[in-house]
Amino acid sequence: MSMPSVGVVSNKDKERISRTVRSTSKDVKGRVFVFSLLFALAITLLILVVLLVQVLVDGWPILSDDPWAFVTGTLRSRSDDPLLGVSQGLYGSFWIAMFVAALAFPTGVAAAIYLDEYAPHNRFTNFLELVIRNLAGVPSVVYGLLGLSIFVSDNWFSRNITGGQSLVSAGLTLAILVLPIVIITSQEALRAVPNGIKEGAYGVGATKWDVIRGQTLPYAAPGILTGTLLSMSRAIGEAAPLILVGAVTGGMTADPQIWDVTALKDRFTAMPTLIQTWTQQSGRDAGFAAAAAAAIVVLLVFVLLLNISAILLRNRYEKKRST
């Protein structure tokens, strides 16, 4: 670039420009904003850390002794019983997760695909979307009542399918509980698929089914997976609906192996119920406080494993998407 030899900018102006450019005017509002954001993040992390440390410290007497014995042990009436443990709770929570995966995921994803890709946009479908969004916010106790009246109380369902107060009832109830969340997160993932990709596929003569199978679903898969597996974590952590559909809070003797499906129609317990029971019993027998804390740690590890598998699965799909 050739600059004109005669300066376009006078020396006086040059001085003024260099002064303004170098001036360090402080963006006070901007800094306050960033600081408050950091503060919010710090509080969140702090609470989490305090919680984890508290639980670990409380549960340490049991976990440091023999963690595997605690995982394989069963419900006991005394906290110093060496056979005390959470195996029945893990059995219940594992099968609840299985029910949610087998029922809520396919149904929820299918409903989301229908609503986003096929359903006409009219007043009825708008209303339907509103209902689904509201259902996602309904307190879980209400779902417990629903499960109680449909799956547990004496009717055709409970006599022939669920067996009343059983893991089947609990699994069905929690599957219904997370269904709206699965639908909403799947819809979000489907809507994030770029329109250009779909149009490109239609443009070479793909049918709607071709587009959904070959473009939309593969692109949305990581998002759908993440959302649905997070909702599974939620289902595993729920306690209130379980109590309503009959989770046992003590005196359970059966200890089925993890793959033993014959116990699904029997009385059951699950991790959150166990934690709640032991916390209550700690008033009578202080040792149960440590047991409850240790059970919380086991539950957290369980949920963590689920989330890690979700992340691994998502990464695999995302890699597929970009190659």
Partner 1 sequence: MTDSIDEGEMTSTMTDQADQGAPAMSAPHIDMSIASEHVEDLSDVPPVFCARDLEVSYGEFKAVKDVSMDVLEHEITAFIGPSGCGKTTILRCFNRMNDLIESSRVEGHLLYHGVDLYDSKVDPVEVRRRIGMVFQKPNPFPKSIYDNIAYGPRVSGMAKKKDALDEIVETSLRKAALWDEVKDRLEESALGMSGGQQQRLCIARAIAVNPDVLLMDEPCSALDPIATGAIEDLMRDIKSEYTIVIVTHNMQQAARVSDQTAFFSVEVNPHSDTRTGVLVEIDTTEKMFSNPSDQRTERYVTGRFG
Nearer to partner 1, 174 or 221 (CB): 221
80 phi and psi, to 5 degrees?
Answer: -90, 5
Amino acid at 32: V
Instruction: Confirm if 227 and 188 have CB atoms less than 8 A apart.
Output: yes
CA distances, 236 to each of 140, 163, 299 (Å) = 12, 21, 9
316 binds partner 1 (CB under 8 A): no
Encoding tokens for residue 89?
A: 């709770």
DSSP state of 146: H
Instruction: Confirm if 152 and 162 have CB atoms less than 8 A apart.
Output: yes
Nearer to partner 1, 12 or 121 (CB): 121
What minimum distance in Å lies between the beta carbon of 258 and partner 1? 39
Alpha carbon distance 96, 73 (integer Å): 20
CA distances, 31 to each of 25, 35, 37, 41, 271 (Å) = 12, 6, 10, 15, 45
- How many residues sit in the footprint of partner 1 (CB under 8 A)? 22
Amino acid at 194: P
Which of 196, 251, 284, 312: binder of partner 1 (CB under 8 A)? 196
123 binds partner 1 (CB under 8 A): no
Q: Which stretch binds partner 1 (CB under 8 A): 12-20, 23-31, 206-214, 292-300?
A: 206-214
215 binds partner 1 (CB under 8 A): yes
205 binds partner 1 (CB under 8 A): yes
What minimum distance in Å lies between the beta carbon of 115 and partner 1? 14
2 binds partner 1 (CB under 8 A): no
Helix boundaries (H) for 156-286: 156-157, 167-191, 195-203, 208-211, 217-237, 240-244, 271-281
Nearer to partner 1, 188 or 210 (CB): 210
121 binds partner 1 (CB under 8 A): yes
120 binds partner 1 (CB under 8 A): yes
Instruction: Confirm if 67 and 56 have CB atoms less than 8 A apart.
Output: no
Q: Which three-class secondary structure state does DSSP give residue 285?
A: coil
Q: Which stretch binds partner 1 (CB under 8 A): 148-156, 200-208, 279-287, 298-306?
A: 200-208
60 binds partner 1 (CB under 8 A): no
Which of 63, 141, 197, 240: binder of partner 1 (CB under 8 A)? 197
DSSP state of 263: G
What minimum distance in Å lies between the beta carbon of 227 and partner 1? 20
DSSP state of 84: B
Nearer to partner 1, 30 or 196 (CB): 196
The footprint of partner 1 (CB under 8 A) covers 120-121, 194, 196-207, 210, 214-215, 219, 321-323
